Amino acid sequence: MNIAEIIAWKRDGGDLSARQIAWVVDKFARGEIADAQMSALAMAIFFQDMTIEETIELTSSMLHSGRPLTWPESDRPKVDKHSTGGIGDKISLPLAPIWAALGIDVPMISGRGLGPTGGTLDKLESIPGFQVNLSREAMVKVVQEVGCVIVSASADFAPADKKLYALRDVTGTVASIPLITASILSKKLSEGLDALVMDIKWGSGAFMKQRAKALELAHRIVAVARHLGTPTRAILTDMNQPIGRMIGNACEVQESLEILEGGGPADTRELTMVLATHGLLSVGLESQWGAAWRLVQSVLDNGTAREKFAAMVQAQGGDLKQFRRTFERRPWLSERTGWIQRFDCEKFGYAIIEMGGGRKQAIDQLDYRCGIELLVEVGSHIERGQPLLNILDHPQPSPRVWEILEQAICVSEEPPLVSSGDAPWMLVEQNEIE
């Protein structure tokens, strides 16, 4: 086969055969296709899209570029959640131990911050000593002993995705539905799951700005994952408001602990419980929504999910006792009276990056402690001089930080059409995505 011909065929709108896709992924993973050629193919796919069949083949080839996990016979099903990333999205932190407390094993491979959205691994590393780079054997051991683990992808898991993602990141080819589908699923299906729950974000804080695009992604991911043998369901989440009040690293761990201790913001608690309930239903640990919901509630109320979180942190080398749960607060006051019309959510993420809590370059060291505590929501009425947010643990934000925050919060004289009383997330019914 000839890579130049394959690129030209896709460029001109042709469908690639299973053999062609398997060949390309194999050669690329071995370093036998040049980065320039793979980038050109990614761009051709970006413009010409792929059929479901092509996306299935791409996902499967990328998945098998590594060594997916296989698990010994066990009565604990394996489930994971993947979010396409949003501002203040700390849901994995309370969700994994909730499932572990309910008899589900969670071998979660997670990521670092991507653009303005924070990364679960960065958040966990704000706990002194926490190790995200575990060997495959150590990862399996923590799952078997504790019931949940959250780690970075080792070289064993979908190495073709790692190489391809690095190229997409610098060639403007990230936002392609088949490429995103194959990228996410090649990693997640490497975990050897019995079921996957997807949280697909749309809005100003997500990389899919349009709900219709997010829905298309949901359809594709669910169809491909199911075809490859992993029952998968998805919910669409409105990311026009951050999730919870805290945005940053350490402060999001703090908010996750609040959820696990029976408190925390209502939206964060609800989204965590919705995803947890879907997990229980998808592996048949419960068949009714209400009963599953009550089970989730019970492990939050009786502290067993909190204990699982502590056990996971300890098993991964972290020391929760050394984790400082209080933050110095510096309020930012409104200069106007009016209504919070909308947020440009991404800007909160860029403000965190500007303060040092996220990366401008892959090698940047993070300031885990800095953060933002949001004190208002869309629809809030505010008075001049009222605090809109607190800057956490950062004594001297630069003028650029304030400039970005100005752009993040849009205040107007009229109340917004959609009030803050509306649900911040929306369920996609299963039949809508099948």
Instruction: Return the active site residues.
Output: 82, 161, 168, 183, 187
Beta-bridge mates of residue 106 = 148
Q: Nearest approach, Cβ of 46 to ligand URA (angstroms)?
A: 11
* C-beta nearest to ligand URA: residue: 183
334 binds ligand URA (CB under 6 A): no
- Give whichever of 109 and 275 is closer to ligand URA, judged by the CB atom: 109
Tokens representing 291? 């009963």
The answer to whether 183 contacts ligand URA (rule: CB under 6 A) is yes
**Among the candidate windows 6-14, 128-136, 176-184, 419-427, which touches ligand URA by CB under 6 A?**
176-184
Q: Name which of 208 and 259 has its Cβ closer to ligand URA.
A: 208
Other CB atoms within 10 A of residue 431 CB: 6
| Dihedral in degrees, nearest 10, Cα atoms 268, 270, 276, 281 | -160
Query: In this structure, which long-range contacts are made by residues 272-275, counting pairs with CB atoms below 8 Å and at least 24 apart in sequence?
Result: 272/91, 272/94, 272/95, 272/98, 273/297, 273/300, 274/235, 274/425, 274/427, 275/81, 275/91, 275/95, 275/197, 275/199, 275/235
253 — phi, psi (to 5°)?
A: -65, -45
Least distance (Å) between residue 137 CB and ligand URA: 24
Per-residue contact track with ligand URA, 67 to 106, x per CB under 6 A?
-----------------x----------------------
Instruction: Decide: is 184 part of the binding site for ligand URA (CB under 6 A).
Output: yes
User: From the CB of 174, what's the least distance to ligand URA, in Å?
Assistant: 6
| 353 binds ligand URA, rule: CB under 6 A | no
Interaction between residue 282 and ligand URA (CB under 6 A): no
Size of the site for ligand URA (CB under 6 A): 7
Residue with tokens 């370093």: 31
174 binds ligand URA (CB under 6 A): yes
Stretch that binds ligand URA, among 31-39, 172-180, 215-223, 279-287 (CB under 6 A): 172-180
Among 132, 128, 375, 126, smallest CA distance to 251 is for 126
Instruction: Tell whether residue 167 is a contact of ligand URA (CB under 6 A).
Output: no
Q: Is 61 in the site for ligand URA (CB under 6 A)?
A: no
Range in contact with ligand URA (rule: CB under 6 A) among 180-188, 228-236, 243-251, 380-388: 180-188
200 is a contact residue toward ligand URA (CB under 6 A): no
Helices (H), 174-265: 177-188, 211-227, 250-260
Do 245 and 273 form a contact (C-beta atoms < 8 A)? no
Q: Is 180 in the site for ligand URA (CB under 6 A)?
A: yes
- Amino acid at site 426: M
Give the DSSP H or E segment for 280.
helix 266-282
Find all residues with CB under 8 Å of 356, minimum gap 6, and list them: 364, 366, 367, 370, 394
430: CB partners within 8 A, 6+ apart = 233
Instruction: Report the residue number, 39 or 183, with the smaller CB distance to ligand URA.
Output: 183
Residue 373 φ/ψ, nearest 5 degrees: -110, 110
- Pick 198 or 276: Cβ nearer ligand URA: 198
Which residues are at the interface with ligand URA (CB under 6 A)?
A: 84, 165, 174, 179-180, 183-184
